[in-house]
Amino acid sequence: MGEAAAVVAASRDGFFGLGECKGQVVIDGEQVPLVLTPGSEEVSGHDHKALVAALVANREWVEEKVVANSGVLLRGFGVRDAVEFDAIVDALGWPDIRYVGPAPRTHVHGRIWTANEGPLEEFIYYHHEMVLIKEFPGKVILFCEVPPPEGGETPFVPSFRVTERALQEFPDMVEELDAKGLRYTFTALSKDDTKSMRGRGWEDAFATTDKAVAEQRARALGMDVEWLPEEGGVRTILGPRQLTRVFPGRKGRRMWFNTVVGMHGKELSSATFADGSEIPADFVRRCGEIIEEESIQFRWEKGDVLILDNLATLHGRRPSLAPRRVLVATCKVDLA
């Protein structure tokens, strides 16, 4: 049975059909992302409640497809706003997880938040969501409410492909980094700065203005902190962390589960060996090139809902013209 026939057979009453999007690729026989569209004109005429009911009825199948294809794009179902998006997130049945990280975000409705509100002209580098935190999302769900007139794509990268290629070119360095571990630092001010894509202040991130409480919450997340004299800032220290990870149910693939390229040698962040020694700059540069070469690009359309397997994909944001409004929900992982 081909993938299109399998999609129709698996979804009850032919609700889902198989579509395509520009930039889609085939990896190990699977379309990435898998594009699900209305299976008939009758389906396309329904409101979001029909999609919610179909997702509830097909939860296990959708979960299987997200894991098998690393990402599923729901396109053409006419999802209109944060309220409808929130109902779709609930229908999928994955528990919520609170975002912890440097990106400035605003709560919109229910489980829904704005995606990174940093300046649209900046490129948000590829990352696994909350990769440095002990408890990270299993799924990241994105909704395009207002597609940008130009740019603004949310490219994503099959993480295991980066590891495969890095091992081909730098086998000793990859194994040494995995054996010794990584250490990261990040500096944040006390208040939010929406002029920066990493401008979330520590008071917002830790939901307190009390430094003692912030320290306690940081430790619970696996961080140490150093308070800085200037502007009430803080330096967070994380490590040791692995370079790669293997997660259940994903064909034994070794994921590039780190943010070395995104944090190495930056003004407010660093990535080093766990003992503080430097990671060679040429290794970091080449890994950045590999990540870009493996990236999958697609253009947002109004109403798109993209479900990413956060254990298997890095994602980012291309520079964009305004307006652009993409909303996000993050869901807990089950590694059992």
Q: Is 287 helix (H, G, I), strand (E, B) or coil?
A: helix
Which superfamily is assigned to 16-155+296-331 in CATH? Clavaminate synthase-like (3.60.130.10)
**For position 11, what pLDDT does the model report?**
58
Dump pLDDT digits (tens) for 311-327.
999 999 999 999 999 99
Judge whether 3 and 27 are in contact, CB under 8 Å. Answer: no
Confidence of residue 207 (pLDDT cuts 50, 70, 90): confident
Please list the residues that pair with 314 across neighbouring strands.
157
Q: Is residue 311 within 8 Å of residue 247, measured between CB atoms?
A: yes
State residue 188's pLDDT score. 86
Written as one letter, the residue type at 290 is I
Given pLDDT bands bounded at 50, 70 and 90, which one contains residue 202? confident
The more confidently predicted of residues 213 and 8 is 213
Q: For the whole model, what pTM was predicted?
A: 0.93
Predicted local confidence at residue 61, as pLDDT = 96
State the CATH architecture for 159-291: 4-Layer Sandwich (3.60)
Q: Cα-flanking dihedrals φ and ψ of residue 260, to 5°?
A: -60, -50
Cβ(170)–Cβ(162) below 8 Å? no
**Which pLDDT score is estimated for 1?**
46
pLDDT digits (tens, 9 = 90+) for 24-83: 999 999 999 999 999 988 877 678 999 999 999 999 999 999 999 999 999 999 999 999
| Phi, psi values for residue 296, rounded to 5° | -110, 125
- pLDDT value at position 3? 60
Categorize the per-residue pLDDT at 4 as very low, low, confident or very high, splitting at 50, 70 and 90. Answer: low
Q: In what order do the strands lie in the sheet with 34-38?
A: 16-19, 34-38, 71-74, 305-309, 137-146, 325-332, 112-114, 107-109
Residues of the chain with CATH 3.60.130.10: 16-155+296-331, 159-291
What's the pLDDT tens digit per position in 85-115?
Answer: 999 999 999 999 999 888 889 999 999 999 9
CB atoms under 10 Å from CB of 194, counted, come to 14
pLDDT of residue 7: 59
Query: How does residue 10 score in pLDDT terms, banded at 50, 70 and 90?
Result: low
pLDDT, tens digit, for every residue of 240-283? 999 999 999 999 999 999 999 999 999 889 999 999 999 999 99
Segment 116-123 shows an average pLDDT of 93
Per DSSP, helices labelled H in 112-266 are 159-169, 171-180, 202-205, 211-220, 260-263
> Does 191 score more than 90 pLDDT?
no
The predicted structure's pLDDT at residue 161: 98
For position 132, what pLDDT does the model report? 92
Mean per-residue pLDDT over the chain, rounded: 92
Cis peptide bond N-terminal to 33, omega within 30: yes
**Residue 102: its pLDDT value, please?**
81
Dihedral sign for Cα atoms in the order 208, 209, 213, 214 = positive
